[in-house]
């Protein structure tokens, strides 16, 4: 069966209006090969609301993250940062609102696994690695490949894959620890291992929840360099409290407060914002 020919004109420019464009491509179309992000946004959140027994953790939030952007999300405790990540990764379903990955993937209708396979990687606040496995195995499992049961039963590592794992091991500075059990690593090393696993996944969008917590200054600096290198090829969304770190990486900052976007712009802009000062410093 051949698909009906599409007029070349439509293919180049589906529609001016974003909403209609999605309609034309197909709502909730899952797992397209390669991400369709022709409109330049990798993540589109509109009117997202999450309420827990009446309490609104996120309240009518709009957020757009562009392709290749490195976005920092800051905000006081309880601003809804982690809940936001839960919504994007499918762990929590929004009570209301739209969440699009690229132009075609409706995140609210996909399972966590589908979302991960579609190309969103997540790093938890507390580093979670597979403690009983070696560092190498951890990276191997994260590698972007066929992850079905049958594939795993007969999987063998190709030289190319081995090379990729070695490369990432080098990037995160854990070559020496490749054969050690991940559980025996230090806190900072676990953080790097988890970042390494994200790299192996090769996602379009990386969500990083407090990636430099528990790292030394040198490690933090190194991480900042790493993230800046990643941006451009990947899109990153970083939740962080460490303002120094935010200042060293972000070109664009979003401030969340009580589930809403309080301010957006460069770090200097938001730091000068009256409301942000009020929220952070109190009256």
Partner 1 sequence: MPKALHRLLLCLCLWLPFAAQASDAQDFASASANDRARLLQEWAAQPDPARLGLLGSLQQGRLGPDQPRTLRLNNRLRGLLDNALASQRLLSDDAQVRLQAAQHLQRRAQPTQLGLLERHHAAETDQAVHAALGLALANLQLVAAEPSVRLAAVRLLGESGDPLARTRLQALLEPAVESDEGVRTAARTSLDQVERKLLIGELLGQAFSGLSLGSVLLLAALGLAITFGLLGVINMAHGEMLMLGAYSTYGVQILVQRYAPGALEFYPLLALPVAFAVSAGVGMLLERTVIRHLYGRPLETLLATWGISLILIQAVRLIFGAQNVEVANPGWLSGGVQVLPNLVLPWSRIVIIGFALCVALLTWLLLNRTRLGLNVRAVTQNRNMAACCGVPTGRVDMLAFGLGCGIAGLGGVALSQIGNVGPDLGQSYIIDSFLVVVLGGVGQLAGSLWAAFGLGVANKLLEPQIGAVLGKILILALIILFIQKRPQGLFALKGRVID
Partner 2 sequence: MNQPLLVTATQKAGPRLSLVIGAIVLLTLIALPLLSLLPDGHSLQVSAYILTLVGKILCYAIVALALDLVWGYAGLLSLGHGLFFALGGYAMGMYLMREAAGDGLPAFMSFLSWQELPWYWAGTQHFAWALCLVVLAPGSLALVFGYFAFRSRIKGVYFSIMTQALTFAGMLLFFRNETGFGGNNGFTNFRSVLGFDITAPGTRAVLFLLTVALLAGSLYLGWRLAQSKFGRVLTALRDAENRLMFCGYDPRGFKLFIWVLSAVLCGLAGALYVPQVGIINPGEMSPTNSIEAAVWVALGGRGTLIGPLLGAGLVNGFKSWFTVAFPEVWLFFLGALFIVVTLYLPKGLVGLLKKRDEP
Give the residues lining the site for partner 1 (CB under 8 A).
52-53, 57, 82-83, 86, 91-92, 124-126, 128
Q: Tokens in use for 52?
A: 């827990």
The option from partner 2, partner 1, none interacting with 93 (CB < 5 to 8 A, set by class) reads none
Sheet strand arrangement including 120-123: 120-123, 205-209, 235-239, 70-74, 252-257, 260-265
Report yes or no: 76 and 278 within 8 Å, Cβ to Cβ: no
Query: By C-beta, is 85 or 177 nearer to partner 1?
Result: 85
Q: Which of partner 1, partner 2, none does residue 126 bind to, with CB < 5 to 8 Å depending on kind?
A: partner 1
Identify which of 257, 261, 259, 212 has the alpha carbon closest to the alpha carbon of residue 238.
Answer: 212
Which uninterrupted H or E stretch holds 117? helix 112-118
For the CB of residue 228, give the shortest distance to partner 2 in the complex, in Å.
24
Collapsing DSSP to helix, strand or coil, 241 comes out as: coil
Nearer Cβ to partner 1, position 14 or 127? 127
**Total residues contacting partner 2 (rule CB under 8 A)?**
29
Distance separating alpha carbons of residues 233 and 68, to the nearest angstrom:
6
Question: What string marks each residue from 106 to 135 as x (binds partner 2 by CB under 8 A) or -?
Answer: -----xxx--xx---xx-x---xxxxxx--
Q: What are phi and psi of 146, to 5 degrees?
A: -65, 125
Q: Does 142 bind partner 2 (CB under 8 A)?
A: yes
Site stretch for partner 2 (CB under 8 A), options 7-15, 35-43, 52-60, 139-147: 139-147
Quick one: which of 46, 137, 221, 242 contacts partner 2 (CB under 8 A)?
A: 137
């Amino acid at each position: 069966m051949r698909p009906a020919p599409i007029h070349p004109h439509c293919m180049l420019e589906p529609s001016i209006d974003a909403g209609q464009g999605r309609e034309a491509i197909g709502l909730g179309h899952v797992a397209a090969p390669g991400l369709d992000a022709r409109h330049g946004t990798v993540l589109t959140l509109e009117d997202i609301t999450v309420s827990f027994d009446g309490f609104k953790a996120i309240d009518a939030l709009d957020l757009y993250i562009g392709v290749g952007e490195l976005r920092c999300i800051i905000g006081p405790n309880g601003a809804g940062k982690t809940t936001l990540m839960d919504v994007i990764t499918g762990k929590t379903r929004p009570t209301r609102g739209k969440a699009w990955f690229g132009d075609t993937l409706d995140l609210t209708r996909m399972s966590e696994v589908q979302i991960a396979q579609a190309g969103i990687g997540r790093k938890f606040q507390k580093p979670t690695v597979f403690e009983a496995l070696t560092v190498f195995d951890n990276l191997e499992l994260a590698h972007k490949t066929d992850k079905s049961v049958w594939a795993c039963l007969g999987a063998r590592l190709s030289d190319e894959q081995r090379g990729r794992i070695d490369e990432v091991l080098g990037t995160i500075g854990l070559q020496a620890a490749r054969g050690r059990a991940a559980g025996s690593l230090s806190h900072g090393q676990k953080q790097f291992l988890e970042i390494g696993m994200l790299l192996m996944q090769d996602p379009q969008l990386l969500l990083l929840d407090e990636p430099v917590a528990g790292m030394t200054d040198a490690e933090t600096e190194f991480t900042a360099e790493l993230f800046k290198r990643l941006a451009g090829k990947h899109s990153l969304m970083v939740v962080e409290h460490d303002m120094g770190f935010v200042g060293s990486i972000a070109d664009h900052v979003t401030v969340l407060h009580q589930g809403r976007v309080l301010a957006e712009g460069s770090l200097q802009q938001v730091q000068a914002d009256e409301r942000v000062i009020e929220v952070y410093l109190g009256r």
